[in-house]
Amino acid sequence: MQQTCKQCSGGFSVTDEDIAFLAKLAPVIGGSVRTLPPPQLCPDCRQQRRCAFRNDQNYYRNTCCLCKKSLISIYSPDKKIQVLCDDCFWSDRFDPLLYGIEFDESRPFFEQFAELKAGVPRLAIYHTQSENAEYTVHSSRNRNCYMASSLVDCEEVYFSDFTFKSRDCMDVFSCEDMELCYECAHSEKCFGSDFLELCFNTSGSAYCFDCKGCTDCIGCCAQRNKTNWILNKAASKEEYASTLAKLRTDPAFRDEFIRKFEDLKLCTPKPAAWLVGCENSTGNYLMFSKNVRHGFNMKHCEDCMHVFEGHRDTDCCDIMRIGMGEMLYECAAIVESRFSVFCNLTYQCDNMICCDNCQTCSSCFGCMSGKKNRYCILNKQYTKEEYEKLVPTIIEQMRATSEWGEFFPATLSPFGYNETKAQEWFPLEPEKALARGWKWSDYEQPLPKGIKTIPASQLPPSVADVPDDVLEWAILCEATGKPFRIIPQELAFYRKRGLPLPHRSPQKRHRDRIAKQNPPRLYDRTCAKCTKEIQTTYAPDRPEIVYCETCYLQSIY
C-alpha cells in the first residue's frame, strides 16, 4: 500500500508485514480488539515527532511546586510547568487524580488531553533507583553519575548517553561494559581507551575505528587482535608510549595525527551495515539482535520494526529510546512497560493508551503523571466495567477525527524543538520549526554571580599544568562561546588518564558525537568490490568505500 506523508508529502510504503504487526499490537479492551489504522506519516516523520518529546541534554535550575525546594529539571523555568521533586511526587501530598476531567464527546481528544497535561504537575526529571545521580535523566540503577541520559547500571559515568553497565567513563555514547574510557561510541568491553568507535574488547588504545581484540593501538582501522600498532603499522612499545604522550600534550601533533587517522579511516572499507551478532535484521548499529527490520542503534532486541535506539525490546514497532519494552507501538522514552500504544515516559506500566509521565500504572487512557493508578481516563477514576465501556467510545470518536493511531502531536511537546533529540537527528531552522507549530527555546541558564570566565584557548595544553582553581572558573566553549564548568570528579578523571581539558561544552561535545554517526535511514548502493546491490546508511554520494558483508569480511580476515 502506497501512502503520502501528511507532514513532508513524501511517499512511503505500508507493507503486508506492517499491517500484520499493527494487528498484532492492537490493544484489547474488554475482550475486544481495537484495530490500528495505517500510519499517516512516513517512518522518518514519525520518528521526528517522537524525538521532539525528548530532552536529554539540557538541565535547568527550577523549584518544586509543593515543597519549594530548589532542584534540577529538564524543564526550564520560563515554561511555567509545575515540577515536583521525587519525594513530593511519591508522597500523599500529590494526587494526580485531583486534576481529573470527564471526557467531552463534542471535542477532539488531544485538545482535552492538552488542557489536562498543562495543569498536572510532573516529575522534574526522570531517574529511578539511583544514588547521587540528580543530573541524570531517563536512567535507572546508577551511582555517582552526572549529566547523562539513558544510563543503566552505571557508576561514575559523566556526560554520556545510551550507556549500560559501565564505570569510570566520560563522554561515551551507545556503549556497554566500558571502564576508564573517554570519547567512545558504539563500543563494548573496552578498558582504558579514548576516542574509539565501533571497537570491542580493546584496551590501552586511542583513535581507533572498527578494531577488535586490540591492545595498545593508536590510530588504527579495521584491525583484529593487534598489539602496539600505530596507523595500521606495527610499532615498538617505545613508539606507542611516545605517540600517546604527544597526543595528550601537543595540540599541533594531535591535529596532524587526527588528520592522518581520518584519511586512513576514509580509505578503509566499511560494511554496508554495522551489525554485530545479529540474525535476519536490517538497519544499522545493531548489536546481538534478531528479526529486526529498519532498526537503528539497538542492543539485544528481537522481533521489532521501525525502532530508533532500543535496549532489550521485543515485539515493538515505531518506538524511540525504550528499554525492556514488550508489545509497544508508537511509544517513546519508556522503561519496563508492555502492551501499550501512543505513550511517552511511562515506566513499569502495562496496557496504557495515550498516557504521558506515568509510573507503575495499568489500564489507563489519556492520563498524566499517574502513579500506581488503574482504570483511569484523563486522570479520573473509573471502575473496570466503566473503563471498558468508555474507552471504546473515545477510540471511535478519535477515529472520526483521525487522531486514533497517532502519537501525540508535536505541538504537545513541552520542549523547544532545539532542546530535543529531534534537532540532533532532524535539524530545523527556528522559522521552519515554528511554521509547523512547534516550539523553540531561547532560554539561557544564567551563570551564578561572581563566576570568572576564561576562553578555552587559554587552557594549558597538558592537564599536568592545570591548577585546582580551574574549578572556580567557567570556560568559554570554543565552538559556541557559551560558558561551561569543570566539576571535581571530571578534573580527577582527566588527571588520572592524562587527558587535556575539553575546549567544548558538554552539549557541544555530545552534538559532535552525534554528527559522526550515520543517519537513521537506508540508501540503495552497490558494493564497491563485487557491485552487488546493498542497502546502507552511507548515502551514494558519500566518499566511503562500502562493501557487502561477504566482501567486507574477506577484506578483514
DSSP calls for 281-320: --EEEEES-EEEEEEEEEES-EEEEEEEEEES-EEEEEEE
Residue 11 lies in a domain: yes
What is the model's pLDDT at position 446? 79
Model confidence, pTM: 0.92
pLDDT in tens, 335-348: 999 999 999 999 99
Of the candidates 512, 415, 161, which has an alpha carbon nearest to the alpha carbon of residue 311? 161
pLDDT tens profile 13-45: 999 999 999 999 999 999 999 999 999 999 999
Mean pLDDT to the nearest integer, 172-182: 97
Q: What is the pLDDT of residue 539?
A: 95
Q: Are 14 and 39 in contact (CB under 8 A)?
A: yes
**Which of 271, 268, 289, 267 lies closest to 280, judged by CA?**
289
Q: Which of 143, 214, 188 is nearest to 300 (CA)?
A: 188
CA 236 remoteness from chain centre? 40
> What pLDDT, on the 0 to 100 scale, is given for residue 450?
80
Whether residue 179 lies inside any domain: the answer is no
Count the domains in the chain: 3
Which pLDDT value is given to residue 449? 81
**What would you report as the CA-atom Rg of the chain, rounded to the nearest whole angstrom?**
24
Asked whether residue 221 is assigned to any structural domain, the reply reads: no
273 falls within a domain: no
Domain enclosing residue 36, as ranges: 2-40
Residue 105: predicted pLDDT: 94
Domain contains 289: no
> Which residue, among 110, 29, 148, 59, has the nearest Cα to 510 in the 3D structure?
148
pLDDT for the residue 448 = 78
Within a domain: 492 = yes
Q: Distance between CA 283 and CA 89 in Å, rounded?
A: 39
Q: Do the domain assignments include residue 515? A: no
- Tell me the backbone φ, ψ of residue 216, rounded to 5 degrees: 55, 55
Does pLDDT of 447 surpass 80? no
pLDDT, tens digit, 9 for 90 and up, residues 316-330: 999 999 999 999 999
pLDDT in tens, 345-375: 999 999 999 999 999 999 999 999 999 999 9
Polymer length of the chain: 557
> Distances from the Cα of 57 to the Cαs of 106, 142, 193, 468, in angstroms?
39, 18, 24, 27
Judge whether 459 lies within some domain: yes
